[in-house]
């Protein structure tokens, strides 16, 4: 799922292409992508884009007439920018916004249709998408600490909870926790002030560095390879590969459709965190430390 660094890059590359431009035509290729009916989607045709913003992991197009088009890419949704007049072709294209400057196409890989468009009127309509998460890059340490301690969760859950922190998901939370050298299962209620300060700096540092890295990789081009598994990540998507800090194999915890990646030596003192499915299957044979695996 595109997270804060990826959404930031999308917004930066969309701005020179669509700000001040009218939407000439909206094309819906999938009947399921549009999740709202009032106002009707056709009313955006001819209206100019007056601003762009991020709400958590959503992208918001503000249009003339106090209208807001809210796009949630979910897990497999992506944007593609095509030359003017390009027809939305291919099975992956769900919708397209056509501008004088080009065509913005919304695609989604796979068979599950999770990406969505909502068109709402006024600030009140937009407010339904506000989850209240803290913008870490705009917050100071006391604000971060207060939000982290407001509920007792594991660090992994706290960082990815959109009600607590804005724009952080599965991928960058793994990178943040590795940088902070903290277990994803550590409880927020048990953190010391020093540990919270470390986590605060790791969160801000990881997000800021990845934004800059994506900017350098993209240059002036529209982002073409937005993925949760990037070259240069320390642990996310790197199961069994060596940790770049200590060389130990990266471990994982699997649950539902997600997994958490971590380095046992750097983050848990060598202790392996129990994978629900495998630890149930192996029971007493489940290894408890990195040494048992090696």
Residues 286-289: contacts with CB under 8 Å, at least 24 apart: 289/264
Percent of the chain with pLDDT over 90: 82
**What is the location of CATH 1.10.8.50 in the chain?**
136-293
With a threshold of 0.85, does the pTM exceed it?
Answer: yes
Residues of the chain with CATH 3.20.190.10: 4-129
Residue 276 pLDDT:
56
In CATH, the number for domain 4-129 is 3.20.190.10
Q: Looking at domain 136-293, which of 1.10.8.50, 1.10.10.10, 3.20.20.100, 3.90.650.10 is its CATH number?
A: 1.10.8.50
Given this model, what pLDDT does residue 200 score? 98
Burial classification of residue 193, based on how many CB atoms lie within 10 Å of its CB (0-12 exposed, 13-18 middle, 19 or more buried): exposed
Inform me whether the pLDDT recorded for 74 exceeds 90: yes
Q: 114 vs 181, which has greater pLDDT?
A: 181
């Amino acid at each position: 799922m595109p997270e804060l660094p990826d959404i930031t890059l999308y917004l930066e590359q969309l701005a020179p292409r669509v700000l001040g431009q009218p939407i000439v035509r909206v094309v819906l290729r999938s009947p399921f992508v549009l999740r709202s009916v009032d106002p009707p989607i056709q009313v955006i045709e001819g209206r100019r884009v007056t601003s762009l913003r991020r709400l958590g992991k959503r992208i918001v197009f503000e249009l003339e007439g106090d209208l807001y088009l809210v796009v949630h890419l979910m897990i497999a949704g992506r944007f593609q920018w095509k030359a003017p007049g390009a027809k939305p072709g291919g099975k992956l294209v769900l919708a397209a916004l056509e501008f004088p400057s080009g065509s913005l196409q919304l695609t989604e890989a796979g068979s599950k249709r999770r990406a969505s468009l909502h068109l709402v009127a006024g600030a009140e309509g937009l407010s339904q998408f506000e989850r209240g998460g803290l913008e870490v890059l705009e917050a100071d340490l006391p604000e971060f600490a207060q939000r982290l301690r407001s509920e007792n969760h594991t660090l992994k859950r706290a960082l990815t909870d959109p009600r607590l922190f804005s724009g952080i998901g599965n991928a960058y939370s793994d990178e943040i926790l590795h940088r902070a050298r903290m277990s994803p299962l550590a409880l927020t209620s048990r953190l010391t002030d020093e540990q919270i300060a470390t986590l605060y700096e790791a969160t801000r540092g990881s997000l800021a560095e990845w934004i800059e890295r994506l900017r350098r990789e993209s240059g002036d081009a529209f982002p073409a390879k937005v993925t949760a598994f990037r070259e240069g990540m320390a642990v996310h998507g790197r199961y069994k590969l060596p940790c770049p800090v200590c060389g130990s194999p990266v471990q994982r915890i699997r649950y539902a459709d997600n997994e958490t990646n971590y380095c046992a030596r750097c983050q848990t003192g060598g202790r392996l965190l129990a994978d629900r499915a495998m630890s149930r299957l192996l029971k007493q044979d489940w290894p408890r430390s990195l040494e048992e695996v090696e």
